[in-house]
């Protein structure tokens, strides 16, 4: 059970943040799909040991002839942009849903109404998940529309949907982590210190791990390693296992956040 008035207020207070992030994602998706029609058949080559060479490795960009649309989208979107931008949104949104409302005194006023802490916490969690789902659905729809318009012959819908499901589950998990921290942190500094510190470190480790060599071990100690677009695209069983783990971790984080909020001391 959620509070309808509260979730309406959440959308009213955060719609600019949601729409700005969504607009960036869908514009970037549309531009990349349109660009594929121009560069299709070209070959990506880099000079070994050069800056571009290492940059392509860090971003997990596959070299060779561009002949697969979904692979092109992994190289240009899902390996960096669609990891970083929604993560920034989740960090900001989760703070506004809990930490900011507690510090502003709004949460005390909300809890003075017949709404229980469980209901309020669940409502805030539902808003964060629904905003992520909204961004994903709109971006998918724009991507499909762009494919039908620019490159209908290259569209592989099943693989495209699998990639987006993997990306959503990753951010469902990351959003749950941010929500959990927002329910436990006592202020902006402690909240940002944990979320930005942990997720930022993991993200840098993820990029470094893509460089290979002795750095490749970093890929196994970061939560970003659970989302593997290449394996998702190929439909490997391991990818589905990791997607299930991300979903379960996300549920655990959101549930844990609500439980922490029920016991939180606002003083």
Question: Per the structure block, which two tokens stand in for 67?
Answer: 């002949």
43 HSE (CA, 13 A, CB side): 3
List alpha helices for the chain, DSSP H. 4-39, 51-58, 69-73, 81-94, 100-103, 106-111, 117-150, 157-184, 188-209, 229-234, 237-262
pLDDT at 232: 87
Q: Return the sign of the alpha-carbon dihedral for residues 11, 258, 175, 89.
A: positive
For residue 241, the number of C-alpha atoms closer than 13 Å in the C-beta half-sphere is 4
Tens of pLDDT along the chain (267 residues) come to: 799 999 999 999 999 999 999 999 999 999 889 888 777 755 555 434 444 344 444 445 555 556 788 988 888 888 888 899 999 999 999 999 999 998 888 898 998 888 899 999 999 999 999 999 999 999 999 999 999 999 999 899 999 999 999 999 999 999 999 999 999 998 899 999 999 999 999 998 888 877 766 677 777 788 988 988 888 888 888 899 999 999 999 999 999 999 999 998 876
Contact between 98 and 261 under an 8 Å Cβ cutoff? The reply is yes
At 66-83, the pLDDT tens digits run 678 898 888 888 888 889
Q: Which residues, in sequence order, are CB contacts of 255 under 8 Å at separation 6+?
A: none
Q: Each residue of 198-255: pLDDT tens digit? A: 999 999 888 887 776 667 777 778 898 898 888 888 888 889 999 999 999 999 999 9
pTM (predicted TM-score): 0.92
**Quick count: other Cβ atoms within 10 Å of Cβ 137?**
13
Q: What number of other Cβ atoms are within 10 A of residue 258's Cβ?
A: 21
* CA dist., res. 99 & res. 186, Å (int): 7
**pLDDT for the residue 213:** 67
> CA–CA separation, 167 vs 73, rounded Å?
12
User: What is the pLDDT, as a whole number, of residue 58?
Assistant: 46
- What pLDDT is attached to residue 41? 57
């Amino acid at each position: 059970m959620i509070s309808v008035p509260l979730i309406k207020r959440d959308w009213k207070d955060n719609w600019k943040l949601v729409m700005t992030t969504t607009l960036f994602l869908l514009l970037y998706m549309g531009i990349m799909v349109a660009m594929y029609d121009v560069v299709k058949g070209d070959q990506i080559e880099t000079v070994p040991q050069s800056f571009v060479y290492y940059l392509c490795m860090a971003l997990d960009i596959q070299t060779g002839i561009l002949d697969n649309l979904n692979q092109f989208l992994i190289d240009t979107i899902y390996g960096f942009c669609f990891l970083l931008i929604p993560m920034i949104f989740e960090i900001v949104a989760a703070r506004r849903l809990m930490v900011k409302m507690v510090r502003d005194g709004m949460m005390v006023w909300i809890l003075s109404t017949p709404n229980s802490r469980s209901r309020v916490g669940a409502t805030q969690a539902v808003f964060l998940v629904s905003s992520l789902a909204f961004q994903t659905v709109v971006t998918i729809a724009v991507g499909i529309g762009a494919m039908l318009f620019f490159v209908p012959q290259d569209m592989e819908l099943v693989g495209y949907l699998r990639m987006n499901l993997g990306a959503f589950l990753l951010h469902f998990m990351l959003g749950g982590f941010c929500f959990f921290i927002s329910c436990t942190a006592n202020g902006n500094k402690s909240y940002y210190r944990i979320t930005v510190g942990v997720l930022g470190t993991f993200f840098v480790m993820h990029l470094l791990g893509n460089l290979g060599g002795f750095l490749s071990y970093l890929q196994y100690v970061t939560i970003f390693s659970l989302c593997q677009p290449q394996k998702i695209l190929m439909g490997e069983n391991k990818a589905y296992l990791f997607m299930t783990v991300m979903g379960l971790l996300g549920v655990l984080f959101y549930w844990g956040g609500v439980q922490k909020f029920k016991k939180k001391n606002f003083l």
